[in-house]
Structure 1
Amino acid sequence: MFRDLSRPIETGMPTYPGDPDVTISPDATHAADGYATSELRIGSHAGTHVDAPRHTLSDGDGIDERAVGEFAFDARLVDPGSLSDREPIEPGMLPESDTLDAVDLLVVRTGWAAHWGTERYRDHPYLTEAAAERCRDLGVGVGLDAFGPDPTPTGSAVDGATGAGDQPVGTPAHDALFRGGLPIVENLCGLDDLPERFRLYAFPLRLRDGDGSPVRAVAEWDE
């Protein structure tokens, strides 16, 4: 059984605050040219995508420096239960180590996929730095149905906006995972009723020195 867990790439789709807008426009057309091509303008972290360590660590690997096999994951679905806006996901909400045999990616179902395309999508739950460090200690990366494992700014990132209340600022969860060489997959969808264990394929474009890349994320499991 296969399921597409990726967002369609389309003009005007939601993007992280401060990231480039996405546009797809005709280049050549059948009427004028006898064939069709399109111009795609997109940021490296648009839609469903994987982050490279270079995204937050100046000395981190680029996306093209990772072996392609590193983007085929033995995944474990994690359902922390009903979460509220900007609720921290603590280490105790993650699985015990003895249940993670042959797992290299935890896919955390926050429920925030339901808010895609709304302002509330920015208010997703997030991993505490301690939770990210626990993932690092366990040797497992993280996938989420949200903008990312850290809180999303309340305003435009380019204007220096910060988190709300006592939330962390910056990228402590990203950094903790990247320092362990672990993957991060963001803006997943279609996580409802997935089995607890499955394979996840999230192959990036081969961008030279890339800090991340959109992916076609696909889950596979036995019926």
Structure 2
Amino acid sequence: MHVDLSHRIETGMQTYPGDPDVTVRDHATHAEDGYRVDALELGSHAGTHVDAPAHTEPGGATIDEYPLDRFAMDAVRVDCRDLGARDPIPAERVPDADADCLVLWTGWDEHWGTERYLNHPYLTPTAAERCADRGFAVASDTLNPDPTPTDEADAGEPEGFGAHHALLGADCLVVENLANLDRAADRFELRVYPLALGGDGAPVRAVGVV
């Protein structure tokens, strides 16, 4: 069974604060031109997407440097739905599993498009380092493996992009803004083939093969 784990690309969709807005508009129409073409404007980290090391690491690898098989991963899903807004995901949640990717299932996709979506659970630096040590890519149904800055941020939260640095600095890919993880399984194949861009990241059509 194939499960769509992606958010739809559409005008005004939620993005990381400060990232480019997303616009999908008519460029040509059947009525006026006899054919249809949509014009898209979006950032490389819009919607469900994959981060390459070049996103946070100077001189890091870009998306086009990876073979396609890096984007088809044996994934283990970890249930983090007991965690609340801005709760840390500790290192103890990182399993000692034979897998390519750790998928953090927080249920936060239910808040997609709302302010609450920004106040998601996050991976602690120690947990991110444990993932890197075990060679796990990290995927989640949240905006960010690090805390996203908002007015609700706690003074004790880690600042910056510690989880990104730990993972991308160790050549472990990061996948953000998954959806529908309740339809996946505890073990499944995660396919996240990016657009053929050469940069720091790219939108993907994320599919779970259960």
- TM-score normalised by the shorter chain: which range applies? over 0.9
The unaligned stretches of length 5 or more in structure 2 are: none
Counterpart for residue 36 of structure 2? 36
How high is the sequence identity, in percent, across the aligned residues?
A: 54
Shift >3 Å, 4+ stretches: none
Q: Distance in 2 between matches of 1:41 and 1:94?
A: 37
Counterpart for residue 154 of structure 1? 150
Decide which of 109, 113, 120 is 1:117's aligned counterpart. 113
Q: Is the contact between residue 3 and residue 183 of structure 2 (CA under 8 Å) also seen in structure 1?
A: no
SS in 2 for 1:132: helix
Which letter maps to 1:9? I
Q: Distance in 2 between matches of 1:71 and 1:81?
A: 25
Query: CA-to-partner distance for each residue in 1:8-44, whole Å, 9 max, x for gaps?
Result: 0000111110011100010111111100001100110
Counterpart for residue 188 of structure 2? 198
TM-score by length of 1: 0.91
Q: Distance in 2 between matches of 1:164 and 1:70?
A: 36
- What is the correspondence of 1:123-202 to structure 2 with a 5 Å cutoff? 123-154=119-150, 163-202=153-192
SS in 1 for 2:131: helix
Q: Report the Cα offset of residue 91 of structure 1.
A: 0.4
Query: CA-to-partner distance for each residue in 1:27-85, whole Å, 9 max, x for gaps?
Result: 11111110000110011001000001010111111111111110000000001341111
Q: How big is the alpha-carbon RMSD for the aligned residues of Structure 1 and Structure 2?
A: 1.2
Counterpart for residue 6 of structure 1? 6
SS in 2 for 1:181: coil
SS in 1 for 2:181: coil
Identify if the C-alpha distance between structure 1 residues 61 and 146 changes in structure 2 by more than 3 Å, giving closer, same or farther.
same
Counterpart for residue 212 of structure 1? 201
Q: Report the Cα offset of residue 203 of structure 1.
A: 0.4
Q: Is the contact between residue 3 and residue 220 of structure 1 (CA under 8 Å) also seen in structure 2?
A: yes
Q: Distance in 1 between matches of 2:69 and 2:108?
A: 29
Counterpart for residue 93 of structure 1? 93
Most deviating of 188-197 and 2-11: 188-197
Q: Report the Cα offset of residue 163 of structure 1.
A: 4.5
Q: Distance in 2 between matches of 1:23 and 1:114?
A: 22
SS in 2 for 1:12: coil
SS in 1 for 2:182: coil
